[in-house]
Chains A and B, each alone.
Chain A
Amino acid sequence: MSLNERITVLVSGYKANPKRLIEDLIHFIFLILGLITVGCVLIITIYLIISGLPAIIEIGPIEFLFGTRWASTASEPAFGILPFILTSIYGTAGAIIIGVPIGFFVAVYLAKMAPRKFKETMQLCVGVLAGIPSVIYGLVGMSVLVPAIRAIFDVPDGASLFAAIIVLSVMILPSVINVSLSALEAVPHEYEEASLSLGATSIETYFRVTVPAARSGIFTAIVLGIGRAIGEAMAIMMVAGNVANMPGLFKSVRFLTTAVASEMSYSSGLQREALFSIALVLFFFIMLINAVLNFLKTRSQKI
């Protein structure tokens, strides 16, 4: 069949059934909308790589990634981002260590033990917590948490990695709680009933039967939490102090995100390019986390 013949067949088909034309049109429009999303991802990726690579090459990948000194506007500038990378890793790890256990136990309690009314109220609160803009977290952290840390731990200045970890742990709670909760609720009741009828107590049942069955969903929650923590900028910019130190719990530190955000407005030349390179490194981390998330999702489907 030649192209012309094909078109004739298609047109006559539409004439016989006009509804199909609308159907196909709608399909086409939705396809375009889908492609816009894909296009955004592609454009951002390509743009970041194009604008981020030159500075890495100019500075030297080793010196850039493993240099410990960042002084972008000094007369002899240094562009080492190891402090930022380590701070981001430590900060995220800290937030996970504090936030995940809390979120996990709250989810278990809400899924299995809480009275219905109480559970509904709690879920509402968690929803609100998820909706609070990050700048509000930062503001409260700046005016309450930072002075409190200074007073409690008797350090000269409360703006530190520790303050950032506390703020991040609270910020990841909603995603950890919500995702773990749905995973726990998706476990079939028969599993629990079987365990209970064999004489296990309800607590034993929850932690030996329900939680292992919801394992991959809970891992997904943790990875989502990591993603949220590593990408956060505004809130930690207000509580972490933003000095490019190697990380220490009570030292003023700068994260990958805040390194980009804090200097971008006045930057120029190699400094600006280096900021794009930092964004590229951050992007790489986020991609890594997404890959892990996808891996977990496909694995959970197999089980």
Chain B
Amino acid sequence: MKKILVTLLVALCACTLFAQGANESASQSVSTDGSTSMESVVLSLAEVFEENTGIVVTYNPTGSGSGITAAQEGRADIGLSSRALKDSEVASGLTGTTVALDGIAIIVNPENPVSDLTVDQIAALYTGEFTNWAEVGGNDAPVVLIGREAGSGTRDGFESITGTEDVCKYSQELTSTGAVITAVVSNPNAIGYASLSAVNDTVKTVLVNGVAPSEETVLSGDYQIQRPFVFVTKSDSALSESAQQFFDFALSTDASDIIADAGAVPLV
């Protein structure tokens, strides 16, 4: 009896394994290519979209630059860029459609008296120009810079907005938002950055140029440490039917909860 049960269970497990595999081979598909920061947004959109329509959305994490090139060369249906298109790129026949905004919160330990920083001050802290909190109106204590690992979308976003690419003097490079928050909680002199949606009460969120980060201030553009998540398409040629469907879905109100759950701020 026991043996039969075990055999049945194993067979069942094997079946689910193959059933999973069988689902993958749907006929239609939409290819997306680009920004690594948009991974969670695109993948969660793709998951729900596939459930609803059966159309598979593929995602190739290559970076904003190559995503834009891929859209231009027609290698991908939709290019993904986590920065607004440059004028030259628009002139070359591309259209950028913002699907979401990404706000990056600057966090410090709750014991830290500093509560308002300008973007310049944040950049100066991260480049090592200011090494003591007293220089921005805090305690006389060394600044401990917490950041993310090279290649992380949040790091890329933070550094490109503050203009500190490749010059940040980190004292810790951690591999997840949770680890950054834990490190800031455990060190009273630490400063870190994290995606807006991931920040919780254990850390203090700093006002940037006097504006507190929230969905509203990100949407209105008052909060400065933010960037758009852009779908890049060709201006002159129409999208394939399934790609257009995905495009419309991403911009619809149905998608806004999914985008918010994935850590970005939806536009609608």
**A residues with CB within 8 A of B:** 71-75, 142-143, 146-147, 150, 156-159, 237-238, 241-243, 252, 254, 261-263, 265-268, 271
Contacts and interface: CB of A to CB of B under 8 A. Distances in A.
Contacts of B142: 156
B172 A159 contact: yes
Given A241-B172, A242-B172, A266-B61, A157 B190 contact: yes
Contacts of A267: 151
Interface in B142-156: 142-144, 149-153, 156
Contacts of B179: 142, 238
14 contacts: A72-B151, A74-B166, A142-B183, A143-B182, A150-B187, A157-B187, A238-B179, A241-B172, A241-B173, A242-B172, A242-B174, A252-B170, A265-B175, A266-B153
B144 A263 contact: no
A150 B144 CA distance: 11
B165 interface: yes
Contacts of A71: 150, 166
Interface pairs A-B: 8 shortest CB-CB: A266-B151, A156-B142, A74-B166, A73-B150, A241-B172, A242-B173, A157-B144, A262-B149
B183 to A, nearest CB: 7
Contacts of B256: none
A156 B162 CA distance: 24
Contacts of B174: 242
Interface in B182-197: 182-183, 186-187, 189-190
A45 B83 CA distance: 41
Contacts of B182: 142-143
B245 interface: no
B103 interface: no
- Most chain B CB within a 10 A radius of its CB, from A150, A261, A266: A266
A251 to B, nearest CB: 8
Contact of A268 (B62, B141, B175): B62
Contact of B187 (A158, A261, A265): A158
Contacts of B150: 71-73, 263, 271
A75 B165 contact: yes
B171 interface: yes
B32 interface: no
A158 B179 CA distance: 15
Nearest to A147: B186
B39 to A, nearest CB: 8
B36 interface: yes
A241 B171 contact: yes
A267 to B, nearest CB: 6
B152 A75 contact: no
Contacts of A157: 144, 171-172, 187, 189-190
B63 interface: yes
